[in-house]
Structure 1
């Protein structure tokens, strides 16, 4: 049990660090037209910290509730696929400065969170509940991403320097 906690917690910390490192808030971002209902910039880091802690908790609860290797394999696949899409969104939005591409990638990110929620919930009701904040935040992020794209397009041809 302790191993699962350390592994899940460590992965959450690494993902949080990668997300932060690939999300430079520059004048490019500040100059984007954003909706009034966007949360303040300072909220995103703490929100992701809580969300990743919840996801790590869900992973541990799912791992500990799994009764066979097939269920654990499903958990590893679901969280591994989600990690790939989690890591992919920020570089598209902030580094490539392509919120339009990030919005397309968001579809896959959202689907991976939803699938992970279902995989965890199959073995642990409480674990499934711990995934709900992640699913809610990524859903909100998609709406925000779309609002930014609509207010600022086109992005093609803009210099990302």
Structure 2
């Protein structure tokens, strides 16, 4: 195990989460409570532990792929797709919580979900475990997409 590489992969994803948290912090207290939400909307306290867990799984998946980087013909493309999905992940928080653009956030999260699935397939082809580690991420972002859609409709 390459400890420094492992820590850096985790730090990258957790940093994305922390930046997203900065975008959401004020709105979760002030703007978000004013929205009409569907009955299946999770309680606010659930989001932080779920996202933290997901970022850790994403970081582990990236580390597993990094370990095989010398075997990957198109490693720069793999890294690019990975970084794009992380950027889209961060952008959603700013679009939804900071800009309060629910419709734009819905379009963006659908694009993000597509890129996450592409990323998962790419990772799976490199290391099956890395692909499987993306399954909870795909499921949660699918749910978040549905939730965003319902919030848009209700508001």
Choose 111-120 or 22-31, whichever is displaced more: 22-31
RMSD, aligned α-carbons: 1.3
- The equivalent of 1:97 in structure 2 is 100
Write 1 or 2 for the structure with the bigger share of helix. 2
Distance (whole Å) between structure 2 residues aligned to residue 84 and residue 27 of structure 1: 25
Is structure 2 residue 15 aligned with structure 1 residue 14?
yes
3-state DSSP class of the match of 1:82? helix
- The equivalent of 2:153 in structure 1 is 150
Shift of 1:26: 2.8
Distance (whole Å) between structure 2 residues aligned to residue 8 and residue 71 of structure 1: 19
* Match for residue 30 of structure 2 among 11, 27, 39: 27
Distance (whole Å) between structure 1 residues aligned to residue 67 and residue 140 of structure 2: 25
- The equivalent of 1:114 in structure 2 is 117
Distance (whole Å) between structure 2 residues aligned to residue 41 and residue 63 of structure 1: 34
CA contact (8 A) 1:59 1:75 kept: no
The TM-score, its normalising length taken from structure 2, stands at 0.92
Shift of 1:67: 4.2
Superimposed CA distance per residue, residues 4-56 of structure 1 (whole angstroms, 9 cap, x where no aligned partner): 20220110121111110011313321010101111110000110000000001
Distance (whole Å) between structure 1 residues aligned to residue 4 and residue 120 of structure 2: 22
Superimposed CA distance per residue, residues 57-94 of structure 1 (whole angstroms, 9 cap, x where no aligned partner): 11111222344353432331121111210111011111
3-state DSSP class of the match of 1:70? coil
For structure 2, the residue ranges without an aligned partner over 5 or more in a row are none
CA contact (8 A) 1:62 1:75 kept: no
Is structure 2 residue 3 aligned with structure 1 residue 2?
yes
Distance (whole Å) between structure 2 residues aligned to residue 94 and residue 111 of structure 1: 21
The TM-score, its normalising length taken from structure 1, stands at 0.89
For structure 1, the residue ranges without an aligned partner over 5 or more in a row are 153-161
What is the number of residues matched between the two proteins? Answer: 152
Distance (whole Å) between structure 2 residues aligned to residue 77 and residue 3 of structure 1: 21
